[in-house]
Amino acid sequence: MKRIILWAAFAAIAFLGAAAFAEAPTPPDPDQAYVEKFLEKNPRVANPPALADYATVDRYQERFLGEYLDKQLEYISNDRGGIAWGLAYFMISLNEMRRATGDRKYLDANLRCVRAVMAATDDKRGKALWTGRVVPAWGCDIYAQRGRAVFAVHTGIIVAPVLEFLLLAKEDAAFLADLGDEYEKIVQGALAALAVHDRQWRDGPSPDEGHYIGLDQEDMLENRPLPANRLNAMGWALWRAGEITGDARHRDRAVALGRYFRNRLTLHDNAYYWPYMLPDDPVPPVPVQEQPPGEDSSHGGLTMMLVHALADAGQVFDIEDLRRFARMVIQGVARRDDGILISRINGAADLSPDYIGAPSKYLPLARVNSEVRDRIVTFYLRYRPSPAPIELAQLVRYALPVS
């Protein structure tokens, strides 16, 4: 009898435990609020296409050459950042398509853009900065409290694709011959724009480092080192200038900026992270256990442009560095495997999904870790049915199988 009673007690306890377990609420998804905002802005595609149908040369040509190109060139102005955050990215896409296909039509299209951009500098338009200076670069009327200013990030992101266009032009003898003396005029115009920021350059603080400071721009950056994306945009342009001219000063400054950035990376779980504003002093190369800092994913993609350029040249960043950046992508930006990307590089879901930007800028890292490709491609196929020119071009170049 006692045995029957004990069995009944055990059964009752088991039943109550199972019932409690069944009624226990599902733990909330810590990303739930972020995911809801993400899906509001990026509704899931009902029937995602295959990558081979999504990222095609024909699709790029149909969407972005012809009428689209003509429209981009109707009104060229950086007064509100339109060249830096618009046409410059289109020029990057044309360069990527030239690299991917070898087709001259992309050089021809980009020449139209380059001519328009080089004709829109402040000195040619008769526009003065708030200080009274008239510069051979592209001023902007927003961002700075005191008025029109010229920003290193704008100059870098505009000049870099111009110089990359010239490097690609040098590979095509017939195109270069047709360009004639205009080649050197474009070179000199690009170098003059970079030189506008020489007054902002500072060596150090550590040996072999260098950086730019804010001068006559936003009040909060006056005499302070510029944010990471701004420094690296200039570094990217400087490296390309060195490739064009052979001038060691341009190359040395690009390398010094690369070292400045690398020395301020935080190592966490064998991946690299950094904040929007880099710390003043180098970060010890010792892994941290706490959550690492995280620049927003959009600016982070721009920050990576100098890394890609220097790594390709065997400068500052080696293959293990690239693997650490790739791990940052799959542990941060693309830590989910469902195509929903996070708007901070450290994976913190505390920022609007608007700050995802163009994640295709991380695709060069797929060369050292294919999971970067897989996760970013999933985002495009499921959530971005209409990619921007730079996104489609980088998918064509880095995500499609090599034929």
CA distances from 344 to 195, 352, 384 (A): 33, 9, 18
pLDDT at residue 13 tops 80: no
Q: Which two tokens stand for residue 2?
A: 């006692």
On whether the CB atoms of residues 135 and 196 are closer than 8 A, the answer is yes
What pLDDT is attached to residue 11?
Answer: 44
Q: What is the mean pLDDT of the chain?
A: 93
Going by DSSP bridges, is the β-strand pair 210-212/266-268 parallel, antiparallel, or unpaired? unpaired
**If pLDDT is split at 50, 70 and 90, which confidence band does 378 have?**
very high
Residue with tokens 């205009």: 182
Q: Which two tokens stand for residue 191?
A: 């170098």
Residue with tokens 């030189």: 195
Q: Which two tokens stand for residue 339?
A: 């195509």
Rounded to an integer, what distance in angstroms lies between the CA atom of residue 252 and that of residue 199? 17
What confidence tens digit (pLDDT) does each residue in 342-370 have?
A: 999 999 999 999 999 999 999 999 999 99
Buried-state track 171-203, b at ≥16 Cβ within 10 A, e below 16: eeeebeeebeeebeebbebbbbbbebbeebeee
Q: Which two tokens stand for residue 145?
A: 């409290």
pLDDT at residue 50 tops 50: yes
pTM listed for this prediction: 0.92
What pLDDT is attached to residue 21?
Answer: 46
On whether the CB atoms of residues 229 and 302 are closer than 8 A, the answer is yes
Q: What is the mean pLDDT of residues 66-79?
A: 95
What pLDDT is attached to residue 159?
Answer: 98
What pLDDT is attached to residue 26?
Answer: 65
On whether the CB atoms of residues 129 and 150 are closer than 8 A, the answer is yes
Q: What is the mean pLDDT of residues 103-110?
A: 98
pLDDT at residue 24 tops 90: no
Residue with tokens 């969407």: 63
What pLDDT is attached to residue 102?
Answer: 97
pLDDT at residue 1 tops 70: no
Residue 14's Cβ-side half-sphere holds a number of Cα atoms within 13 Å equal to: 6
Rounded to an integer, what distance in angstroms lies between the CA atom of residue 72 and that of residue 86? 9
CA distances from 257 to 196, 232, 233 (A): 17, 7, 10
